[in-house]
Structure 1
């Protein structure tokens, strides 16, 4: 199956077409306010004009965005691309060391940051190439009166009265401005498409990998790759979505490639997208859901768990919900079943990775194969490769290789890593899986996280899926630890859903359902599991924690 040809040549071209077609319809919303497609087109032009006339930034220069889910994010994103800048997504929750590492590695010359992070950010700019710092506050794109209320309330909340009149920072050699000032200046300037603008081969996004099994690397994603993946996904979703009528509730952070691409896809069909800055505030999220009444929602396994636990959520009307999409981590069978019981809507699980812009495969809403991540997208090829570099037949487990137009150009300034990742045009995903006899892709685990017990391979995701079905277990995670006798031993972390649960009960449950060598030797109860920026359980952090205890 082939995807239809692209309807636009660039993200800027896409936005212009959307602004003409959907005009004053809301594109993005936040806390009761919204900006229309026409607003998004106009404001992003202002930002691009400011870049061109008020800075010496040139096409190809990097601009880092450190923003939560606010309406400012898409404005700056499209504005930066219209000026030919390469966007570097950074997590607002990064510690100082992580932020500094990404700024230095990317060579970013500009940074747009959330104002509450101002003090932390300013401490890290020394030694980087940042020359322009733009800060924005919570309500900057809300109507004037509400903007003042939101911003004053946010300042007071984070720092008391001393924060109410916090000045713009003054840093040696760095031009610092508020985003509202940038928009005001840009309004009197004219944006001109830069030379070579619209050339899809040019780098558009420098997206750092999650670093769940090693140091984060900057995946170089061209506009061509991003648009290719957008068109591939549209080839499927257009059968289920009505242009201009859909409403996407987006609680996942836009700086993550999964939510970034889904947001672009839904925007491209004229959807209204409600941005949720902090999905950890579950009750606030439930109220937002009730008010917004979405037709499409994106999530990950833990988010579905937490929502289904809320009595207020269980009482909502899900009559308009068409699509629930899961990605970023494995969806457990128990969670998928619980979600369908509560909402009446099945979860469409997909698979992707940063290096693929990111989507590789997805279940169709009317043809969901639970336990699989669906069939590959149009124009996408998937192969399963064995330990001797041979192609494996359907049904056999091996390494997953992908080929398609959505692949990255390589890793930023890491030629050796790029060479290791690519094999004659095929990307080694680092994941293990199989293609079943019906052509559906099934993900087993990350290759680096497979546990070797006395020569037998144990896949953590398989154990987690089985163990999570215990009615008194909310969540669990499995890791491997070094063992002098068996090579590795299995350790299980459990978040209990009931105070009555015991370690003995967990072990008995495992012995009844697992081969003896797969039964965890170590079991530890905990209140919560460490997570990555998108909410995925970090096995790496658990392993480092366990190994650290051994050395004490």
Structure 2
């Protein structure tokens, strides 16, 4: 029998770059520090050894609940180096929310803050709790400072589970998504090489946090595998802080979601073009980038935003525009290394121009959902992952997503994409954000409801302008019957719109 191949993705990520070069730049409100690539390698080995000595064995789960920081990177790569499986969980939940994750994942260890550890201690029993505090305090630092600076990575198989991510919960309860060692390297060779073109002198900065699939690639494996450096900011997103970091750190790669680009436009300080002058790639993913945002950014700063589509299950972006070839309103073409199809109700490839379900295949597709067999069967069909999006491929091979399958609306017997209506409404002056959902009208039939966040002004006059714009641009069946003005749209921690929450919020009371 041939010897089985080995691949430990943490070792692959860390074998690039000079030991003296800066790998991580921590920029918090209270601390500024740099970590060299050599120091990063040492800390990862020390975490791996500490986990092994704590009793963590191969393929056992290690829950990671930390703000973005060097310690987060040490924990993620150190667990993989040891052959364990880090599980990345939203760091902005309430401490009392985490015991359920420990129970669901059966985590053998938890690397977290003292506040979360205190909440976990009485509720979780067996897991080893390794805490991280300010100024190198906490049991994790005590454990790793005693370890030797080098060790061999566990020789894992490319198809072994390497880490988990949790889906963002746009439609309800998040699902544990199990990824293999091969997943990251495929993403690096596809999107990292053909779209990002990451170089050793790049500086990457992402507003999406490391516990999200988008942020994990942007702030960890894309830059580190190229020998580049990363700006890490533990605080939640704020426009002012983001503009400050853009001006001070001068990143060359900037990753954000559409709602962040909207907020940055709304709060751009004087001298903004200088702050983004060094950025050579502005990336967007997470949800469709409205044409209004793309157009306004280009007009004000002279830069294109490269929009793409990815998912937690695919690990990162598999459909993308290309630098210099961006077509606003589309997601571009498949990233090399992925095959993307639009299929009809029978699962057969649809003709170009026909609407259907989107599916993708490639080596970064997850193994499935943890303990969600029915959801796994629906979404993972052979080599294909069915994304849950409705899409259409144009004659020139560009893809456009019309919305989530569950979000498509049938009005007067005809299918309506919320995005088509939203693009019109978003172009009306004084509309900051908008989302279109379906709700039962007085007749009991589904009608379109435009939910808008206004910048200022008279609400009734805004409604009139929206009605007029829709009448000029849309056929009658696509025009909203109601316009609801809200203070904000409900979003997940990643900035994705939660339409199911919005539908509940605007539902008419039952007579």
TM-score by length of 1: 0.85
Count of residue correspondences: 498
- Which residue is equivalent to 2:502? 542
> How far is the alpha carbon of 1:529 from its aligned partner?
1.5
CA deviations on 1:274-332 (whole Å, 9 max, x unpaired) are 11223532212211111101111001111111111224265341332100000001100
After superposition, the Cα gap between the structure-2 partners of 1:122 and 1:388, relative to the gap in structure 1 and judged at 3 Å, is same
**Is the Cα–Cα contact under 8 Å of residues 67 and 91 in structure 2 kept in the other structure?**
yes
Report the alpha carbon displacement of residue 245 of structure 1 after superposing the two structures with TM: 0.9
Match of 1:166 in 2: none
Distance 2:55 2:384 in 1: 39
Q: Which residue of 2 aligns with 1:89?
A: 88
Cα distance per residue 1:140-187 (max 9 Å; x no partner): 4xxxxxxxxxx9xxxxxxxxxxxxxxxxxxxxxxxxx5332123233x
TM-aligned CA deviation for residue 41 of structure 1: 0.5
Verify the 8 A CA contact 1:401 1:427 in the aligned structure 2.
yes
2:138 matches 1:182: no
Q: Does 1:13 align with 2:11?
A: yes
Partner of 2:261: 304
Contact 1:403 1:426 in 2 (8 A): yes
Task: Identify the residue that residue 344 of structure 2 maps to in structure 1.
Answer: 386
The aligned counterpart of 1:529 is 489
Native 8 Å contact 2:26 2:232 kept in 1? yes
Q: Tell me, in whole angstroms, the C-alpha distance in 1 between the residues paired with 2:111 and 2:437.
A: 38
Segments of structure 2 that go 5 or more residues without pairing to the other structure are: 1-5
1:136 pairs, out of 116, 132, 138, with: 132
Task: Assess if the C-alpha contact under 8 Å between 1:384 and 1:400 holds in 2.
Answer: yes
Q: Map 1:46-57; keep pairs closer than 5 Å.
A: 46-53=46-53, 55-57=54-56
Alignment of 1:83-162 (within 5 A): 83-95=82-94, 98-115=97-114, 117-118=115-116, 122-124=118-120, 126-128=122-124, 131-140=127-136
CA shift digits 1:378-432 (9 cap, x unpaired): 2211111112333211111100111111111111122222222233322211111
Match of 2:232 in 1: 275
Select 1:22's aligned residue among 18, 21, 32.
18
SS at match of 2:131: strand
CA-CA distance at 1:356 after TM superposition: 0.7
- In the TM superposition, 1:348-387 aligns within 5 A as 348-387=306-345
Cα distance change of structure 1 residues 15 and 224 upon mapping to structure 2, 3 Å threshold: closer
The question of whether the paired residues in 2 share the 8 Å contact of 1:15 and 1:41 is answered with no
Shift of 1:483: 4.1
Is 2:74 aligned against 1:75? Answer: yes
Post-superposition offset of 1:454: 2.9
SS of 1:47 mapped into structure 2: helix
1:479 is matched with 437
Q: Confirm or deny: 8 A CA contact 2:318 2:338 kept in the other structure.
A: yes
List gaps (5 residues or longer) in structure 1. 1-7, 141-150, 152-176
- Residues 510-519 or 203-212, more deviating: 510-519
Contact in 2 for aligned 1:300/1:328 (Cα 8 Å) = yes
Task: Label 1:30 to 1:316 Cα distance change in 2 as closer, same or farther (>3 A).
Answer: farther
Match of 2:3 in 1: none
Asked if 1:467 is matched to 2:467, the reply is no
| Cα distance in 2 between the residues matched to 1:270 and 1:183 | 24
Stretch deviating more after TM superposition (71-80 or 495-504): 495-504
**Matched-pair contact (CA < 8 Å) for 1:454–1:486:** no
1:157 is matched with: none
Q: Match for residue 516 of structure 1?
A: 476
Confirm whether residue 284 of structure 1 aligns to residue 245 of structure 2.
no
SS at match of 2:313: helix
CA contact (8 A) 1:294 1:321 kept: yes
- Post-superposition shift, 1:333? 0.4
Residue 484 (structure 1) shift:
6.5
Question: Relative to structure 1, is the Cα distance of residues 400 and 44 closer, same or farther in structure 2, using a 3 angstrom cutoff?
Answer: same
Q: Pairwise CA RMSD of aligned residues?
A: 2.3
From 235, 244, 249, the equivalent of 2:205 is 249
Give the structure 2 partner of residue 338 of structure 1.
Answer: 296
Inter-partner Cα distance in structure 2 for 1:473 and 1:521: 17
Are positions 1:414 and 2:413 aligned together?
Answer: no
> 2: CA distance between counterparts of 1:320 and 1:245?
12
Contact 1:251 1:277 in 2 (8 A): no
Q: Deviation at 1:477?
A: 1.3
1:407 to 1:129, Cα distance in 2 relative to 1, 3 A: farther
Partner of 1:208: 166
Residues 83 and 391 of structure 1: is their aligned pair in 2 closer, same or farther, counting only changes over 3 Å? Answer: same
Contact 1:245 1:271 in 2 (8 A): yes
Distance between the aligned counterparts of 1:420 and 1:244, measured in 2?
Answer: 41
In 1, Cα distance between equivalents of 2:188 and 2:125:
32
Structure 1 match to 2:393 = 435
User: Could you state the TM-score of these two structures normalised by the residue count of structure 2?
Assistant: 0.91
- For residue 390 of structure 2, give the secondary structure of its aligned residue in structure 1: strand
